[in-house]
Structure 1
Amino acid sequence: MTNTALRESAFPDAVVTEAIRWTEEKGPLDDAQAMRIAASRTANEHARITARALQLGERIGLPSELARARQWGPWVLLGLIALVVVAGLGLAGNVVGGGERHINVIVALVSLLGIHLVTLLLWLVGLWLPPGSFSTSSLAWIWLSLTARVAGGKRGQAPVLVRAATGLLARARLLPWAFGLVSHGIWSISFAVVLAALLFALAFRSYTLSWETTILDPAFFVRAVQVLGWAPAQIGFPVPEAQTVLSSAPGAAGQRTWALWLTGCIVVYGLLPRLALVLLSAVVWRRRRAALQPDWSEPYYRKLAARFAALAPPSIVDADPGRAPGIAPSGLAPSQLRDTLFVVGFELPPDAPWPPQGLHASAATEIQRIDGSAPARRGLLDRLAEVRPRAVLLVCHAASSPDRGTERFLRDLLAHCGECRLWLTDAAKDAAADASQRWIDWLRATGLPRVTAMHRLEDALEGLGATP
């Protein structure tokens, strides 16, 4: 798996892990099988906790609902953008769609920039608030809530997934930036559409632009127009002179100046800040996204780590002092053997499938499974003494550790067959080498080099008359 794929899957896995933590706040889940599977796949503490959460999440449908949310997210976002654009066009229509074609520039400016400035101020305030207290009134929160509702329905796991996702973002100090990336993007598109509609109307229709007041001093408007026009003037937009502002009926040149001043204010105070914040949010997201992981120091995760540590296989016991290491037990002579293969499951977990999937046994093969108890071992040895098979394939759990009882059983087994091999099941790719090497070292140390340990079924059955 490439690093890109790992990064793409890290956040969804972290969301499921956190969601399981919040789910277990109401009561622990039955996780015996999930713990065992996670422990067998990796030795990394955090990876084990994540693997356990993914196993439990599959049971209650968290990964599938999260996948649906990722599929629906872009479509919900497009729908929200369409609604905002329509609203923006409505505002532009109110500004330039009057039957008298008269535009009050101050009212138009407040109408087009008022809500934008309020939401922008709220977002800026949110940057200084403690993590997790970010306002839920943004367009991004609306998008997230709608996506969760569409993906999960009324009975889905949307609340716990949203809580997990926002909690991870808050911990990484990314919540306002992640929400800002969506909100600023929607606002940028809206302003672009509004500007296009406004410029189209001003370019092909004749309007009269002016200001009106009943109680304010005209000098106030002169000063306000100059102050607001300073920033647009830095990128080439004109600023009406005092005479033009005070004139009740400016000429065509004056009307053009008013129209460009209004357009420049929308560009500088509306579109450009949102575009700049989209870029800034994207940069912050890229730099901090590596921190999108659970807080492993939480008591919940420390407790899970302790449980996994308790599942670690015990160290291999010393060799049986009653037998000298290095002396292999003698087996039967070839003339005493029958062309028979025994496949024996030895002390496998209760939920392990049996017979092994993919094993196509011949007519001369016997398949048994024993729990390791003394009566079961004696029954198997009696059967082996009767049949005298050419080979025995002993199927063991890779995560288990052999002990003196296993050694004695193997020595007794070798006395009744020609060859014995071990197939170590459930050895994940990243742990197969360690598991096999542990058994190989133990076989060599206990004087059982005739027994070969393998973690692939194909290798274990090679030349034994049964192929997967």
Structure 2
Amino acid sequence: MTNTALREPDITDAVITEAIRWVEQNGPLDDAQAMRTAIASRKTDAHAQITERALQLGERIGLQHELSRARQWAPWVLTALVALIVMAGLGLAGNVVGGGERHINVIVALVSLLGLHALTLLLWLAGLLFPPGTFGTASLGWIWLSLTARVAGGKRGQAPVLLRSITGLLTRARLLPWAFGLVSHGIWSLSFAVVLASMLFALAFRSYTLNWETTILDPAFFVRAVQLLGWAPAQIGFPVPDAATVLASTPAAAGQRTWALWLTGCITVYGLLPRLALVLLSAAVWKRRRKALQPDWHEPYYRKLLARFASLAPAAIVDADPGRTRTGAPAGLPASDLRDGLFVIGFELPPDMPWPPATIPPDAATHMERIDGSAPARRTLLDRLAHARPRTVLLACNAASSPDRGTERFLREVLAHCGECRLWLAGPADATATQRWLDWLRDSGLESISASERMDIALRPNEAIAP
């Protein structure tokens, strides 16, 4: 999986959502505010609400911060891993062409340069056939991801949770071997390119003797092996030593050149080209399947969250649209749950309007506040209302303004946390403006909320208020 992939919003959200699921396996988190934020986010899709809840909780416990650190460290860890593999490749190439006697056993050289590559490639191919994760730890991609998580998260971070989330999503999308393979094959391709470049440079400017040696094998075996291994490179122009060249104890200069090109062709065809092809294939599979990197919404954990969101009646958001369904005002808290007290709230008032109002009796209000209508300010106020459970809330709105969906939604949320909500139309207003508010309350199904442009009338207890 590339570092760029984790910067895609959909994939990042899926990782955080799945990580919260693993975190809550050890016990549910306090999600009252996160649930309220998710419901107020105007997202109608329940899955999007679950994701929003997870993002809020993830921000609180530091998941996004740690994922950001992992994105920053990933290129550096990958660079170090590439450098290590390239140095190992150079070491192998040096062992092949760096001997003091300048004598190369072509069979030993071929096995040393392609042996580990062939083994890891077979393990990767087996990972496509066997259950996901069976051979995952044999991949350079898995090593890179694990090292990145360890370096970014330290010993006490959320790295294990994020790592489990990422691998779980990859497994469900059937992308685990392809994502790790994209990294692994890329590193191997670079390593083979460096090995070939160093070998060709040495073979071009130094004289080497290339042959084979054996104690127990029949020379005919080497003739057949060289012909067989050389068939594929020959298809793209590399020469193949004939039987006379293979059996010669010290081939002539032309024979040495054929041996050198045969060795180079075998490394290219059996080492570099398969890795390059698999890089392209892995990238194509990733591009095709990455949209499947989503949580399994059928998990019991997510089904419980879906039921919780379904049980919470969402606020109706309307602007007196033609043909809309009229929704009544939600019932306030029962009298047994209320506490004596009055909240006076200035909601989206003009900056030049004085606050607090001088007409409020000094001992009448238990709490006075002015909010600008932003989401954080609303959440903070609703938290206070939920804790205080006041008998009456007096909401002061600018009479000259026009009520909108945000005002209606906020009124419904306030009504759910108090016994009674009243509306004071503050500021200069004429009869037309006041009637506009009254008509809007009636059309929105909120006619039970009394409204008046006079503070003294709005504060009268247990009276039906008219303008």
- TM-score in same-fold range (> 0.5): yes
Other-structure match for 2:354 = 362
Could you tell me how far 1:13 is from its partner in structure 2? 1.0
Q: Distance in 2 between matches of 1:393 and 1:376?
A: 27
1:225 and 1:401 map into 2 onto residues whose CA distance is: 81
Q: Is the aligned partner of 1:24 residue 2:36?
A: no
Partner of 2:275: 274
Cα-to-partner distance string for 1:15-45 (whole Å, 9 max, x where unaligned): 1111110011111111111111111102211
1:192 aligns with 2:207: no
The within-5 A match list for 1:216-295 is: 216-295=217-296
Aligned sequence identity (%): 66
Give SS of 2:33's match.
helix
Checking the alignment, whether the CA contact within 8 Å between 2:123 and 2:135 is kept in structure 1 is no
Contact between 2:234 and 2:240, CA under 8 Å: does it hold in 1?
yes
Instruction: Quickly say closer, same or farther: Cα 1:49–1:318, change in 2 above 3 A.
Output: closer
Question: Once the 2 structures are TM-superposed, how far is the Cα of residue 149 of structure 1 from its aligned partner?
Answer: 1.0
Question: CA 1:276–1:49 in structure 2 vs 1: closer, same or farther (change >3 Å)?
Answer: same
1:170 matched residue in structure 2: 171
Question: What CA deviation, in whole Å up to 9, does each residue of 1:148-173 have, x standing for no partner?
Answer: 11111111111110000000001000
Map of 1:147 onto structure 2 = 148
- Alpha carbons of structure 1 residues 371 and 119: separation in structure 2 relative to 1, 3 Å: closer
2:410 aligns with 398
Tell me which residue corresponds to 1:36: 36
How many residue pairs match? The answer is: 396
Quick one: distance in 1 between partners of 2:145 and 2:416? 58
Q: Which amino acid aligns with 2:392?
A: R
Cα distance change of structure 1 residues 440 and 44 upon mapping to structure 2, 3 Å threshold: farther
Displacement of 1:364 after TM fit?
7.5
For residues 138 and 371 of structure 1, do their structure 2 counterparts lie closer, same or farther at Cα, with a shift above 3 Å needed?
Answer: closer
Change over 3 Å in CA distance of 1:440–1:222 after alignment to 2: farther
Matched letter for residue 174 of structure 1: L
CA deviation vs aligned residue, 1:183-210 (integer Å, no higher than 9, x gap): 0000000000000000000000000000
**CA contact under 8 A between 1:40 and 1:399: conserved in structure 2?**
no
Cα pair distance change 1:12/1:241, threshold 3 Å: same
Aligned 8 A contact 2:390 2:418 in 1: no
Question: Counterpart of 2:91 in structure 1: which amino acid?
Answer: G
Superposition deviation, residue 317 in structure 1: 3.2
SS of equivalent residue, structure 1 residue 209: strand
Determine if the alignment matches structure 1 residue 377 to structure 2 residue 392.
yes
Question: 1:198 corresponds to which letter in structure 2?
Answer: M
Deviation per CA, 1:231-279: give whole Å up to 9, x if none.
Answer: 0000000000000000001100000000000000000000000000000
Going from structure 1 to structure 2, the CA distance change for 1:181 and 1:37 (only over 3 Å counts) comes to: same
**1:14 matched to which residue of 2?**
14
* Counterpart Cα distance in 2 of 1:265 and 1:5: 34
SS of equivalent residue, structure 1 residue 200? helix
Q: 1:253 to 1:405 in 2, by over 3 A?
A: closer
Work out whether residues 443 and 451 of structure 1, in 8 Å CA contact, stay in contact via their aligned partners in 2. Answer: no
* Shift, 1:7, TM fit: 8.3
Q: Name the CA distance, whole Å, in 1 between partners of 2:191 and 2:242.
A: 30
Say which is worse superposed, 305-314 or 170-179, in terms of deviation. 305-314
The answer to whether structure 1 residue 311 and structure 2 residue 323 are counterparts is no
Aligned-residue offset at 1:355: 8.2
Please give the alpha-carbon distance, in whole angstroms, between the structure 1 residues aligned to 2:240 and 2:35: 70
1:83 and 2:84 matched: yes
Q: Is the contact made by 1:317 and 1:403 (CA closer than 8 Å) also made in structure 2? A: no
Q: Does the CA contact (< 8 Å) of 2:415 and 2:421 recur in 1?
A: no
Name the SS for the 1:127 alignment partner: helix
Q: 1:291-330 deviations in whole A, cap 9, x for unaligned?
A: 001001111001001111112237833899xxxxxxxxxx
1:118 maps to which residue? 119
- CA distance 1:393–1:344, change in 2 (3 Å): farther
Identify the residue that residue 463 of structure 1 maps to in structure 2. none
Contact 1:16 1:63 in 2 (8 A): yes
Check conservation: 1:178, 1:285, Cα contact below 8 A: yes
Contact 1:238/1:257, CA 8 A, preserved across alignment: yes
Contact 1:103–1:208 (CA<8 Å) still a contact in 2? yes
1:9–1:409 Cα change, 3 Å: closer
Which AA in structure 1 matches 2:54?
A
Q: Distance in 2 between matches of 1:168 and 1:80?
A: 24
Shift of 1:450: 11
Q: Distance in 1 between matches of 2:297 and 2:135?
A: 23
Q: What displacement does 1:410 show?
A: 4.4
Over 3 Å counting, the alpha-carbon distance change for 1:181 and 1:6 in structure 2 is closer
Amino acid at match of 1:377: T
TM-score of the superposed pair, with normalisation by structure 1: 0.75
Structure 1 residues 57-136: aligned runs within 5 Å: 57-136=58-137
Residue 408 of structure 1 and its aligned partner are, at CA, apart by: 8.2
Shift, 1:448, TM fit: 9.1
CA contact (8 A) 2:73 2:152 kept: yes
> Does 1:137 find its partner at 2:152?
no
Report the Cα distance in structure 2 between the residues aligned to 1:226 and 1:404, rounded to whole angstroms.
84
Q: Distance in 2 between matches of 1:14 and 1:319?
A: 34
* Paired letter, 2:241: P
The 3 A distance-change label for structure 1 pair 98 and 447 is closer
Hey, what's the Cα distance between the residues in 2 that align with 1:245 and 1:93? 24
Alpha-carbon RMSD across the aligned residues, in angstroms, is 4.0
CA contact (8 A) 2:385 2:418 kept: no
